[in-house]
């Protein structure tokens, strides 16, 4: 049914996507040709084609059981990393994909986005500017598809997961797509500093093919829009034959993006996705029918 799918970023909130997908995919027998993704949305998309959500939730419960803080300020005195996220996240990606890495060859083409920095700014200045723009878009403008990052000169690059030769390469690519100082260091791709793909657009519809058909767009934040809505897309003046079905959580996902101290909250986030997936299946025929009448 859906030829292409979008996994927005959102850190731990992407557990909502996993729950939603685990209900909707088998019911609709989804076999998308292309997936576009950002940050933890990319990690989730790859997980869904290499492992099982239940196993991964158990994994995080185990590895995070002794992590009591999101910041260890005492590490400043020892010249060690204050934030444990990068170390835990990278090892988790290696463990989750691990021996199943080769199964990605049979998965849809998964496009993973990173943001390249403006050429007129140094790395540190670009990080500061990007984070300010990101938070203005998130908390003030609340735009579904932000524009400030691109206006500043951030520009995207999308790399196929299947182009990664090893699981280490894939882990590095996802971390580059998730690069959000101070939780991660400033990461580099082919020698160039990059930031979280969400600096350009956290809902990466720009990486979709322009082909006609239905697109499923899963966001992880609650926007001032209907929970489920459709956008027709096409070049100005031409028949708009690509229809994008957006779905967002029915309420705020009950876990913070970078909280590595509360693995028990992954389950409620996942369960909310499952519940919203059930509602989506019930409402989808009416949405498609209404769109067909226009």
pLDDT in tens, 247-294: 999 999 999 999 999 999 999 999 999 999 999 999 998 888 766 665
Question: How does pLDDT run across 103-113, given as a tens digit for each residue?
Answer: 999 999 999 99
% of the chain at pLDDT higher than 70: 96
Q: For 105-114, 131-140, 188-197, which range has the lowest pLDDT when averaged over its residues?
A: 131-140
Interatomic CA distance for residues 4 and 128, integer angstroms = 34
Is the pLDDT at 145 greater than 90? The verdict is no
Domain tally, the chain: 1
163 C-beta neighbours (distance < 10 Å), count: 13
89 burial level (CB within 10 Å; 0-12, 13-18, 19+): buried
Residue among 3, 178, 179, 196 flagged as catalytic: 196
Look at residue 294 in the predicted model and tell me its pLDDT.
58
The one catalytic residue in 3, 37, 39, 178 is: 39
The pLDDT, as a whole number, for residue 160 is 98
- In the annotation, is 196 catalytic? yes
Question: CATH number of the domain that 103 lies in?
Answer: 3.40.1090
CA torsion 78-83-88-89 (nearest 10°) is -140
Structure tokens at 61: 């419960």
- pLDDT number for residue 124: 74
Find the domain containing 141 and state its range. Answer: 4-291
Give catalytic status of residue 177 as yes or no: no
């Amino acid at each position: 049914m859906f030829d292409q799918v979008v996994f927005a970023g959102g850190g731990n909130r992407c557990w909502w996507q996993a729950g939603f997908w685990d209900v909707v995919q088998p019911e609709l027998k989804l076999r998308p040709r292309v997936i576009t993704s950002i940050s933890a949305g990319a990690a989730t998309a790859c997980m869904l084609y290499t492992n099982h959500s239940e196993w991964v939730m158990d994994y995080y419960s185990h590895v995070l059981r002794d992590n009591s803080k999101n910041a260890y300020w005492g590490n400043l005195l020892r010249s060690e990393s204050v934030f444990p996220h990068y170390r835990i996240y990278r090892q988790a990606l290696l463990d989750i994909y691990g021996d199943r890495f080769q199964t990605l060859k049979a998965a849809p083409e998964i496009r993973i986005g990173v943001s390249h920095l403006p050429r007129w700014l140094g790395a540190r200045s670009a990080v500061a500017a990007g984070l300010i723009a990101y938070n203005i878009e998130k908390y003030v403008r609340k735009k579904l598809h932000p524009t400030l990052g691109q206006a500043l000169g951030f520009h995207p690059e999308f790399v196929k997961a299947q182009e990664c030769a090893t699981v280490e390469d894939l882990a590095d690519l996802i971390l580059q797509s998730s690069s959000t100082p101070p939780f991660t260091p400033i990461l580099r791709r082919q020698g160039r500093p990059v930031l979280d793909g969400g600096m350009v657009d956290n809902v990466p519809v720009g990486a979709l093919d322009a082909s006609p058909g239905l697109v499923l767009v899963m966001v992880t934040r609650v926007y001032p829009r209907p929970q489920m809505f459709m956008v027709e897309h096409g070049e100005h003046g031409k028949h708009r034959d690509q229809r994008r079905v957006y779905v967002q959580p029915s309420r705020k996902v009950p876990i913070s993006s970078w909280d590595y101290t509360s693995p028990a909250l992954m389950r409620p986030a996942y369960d909310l996705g499952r519940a919203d997936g059930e509602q989506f299946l019930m409402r989808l025929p009416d949405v498609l029918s209404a769109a067909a009448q226009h």
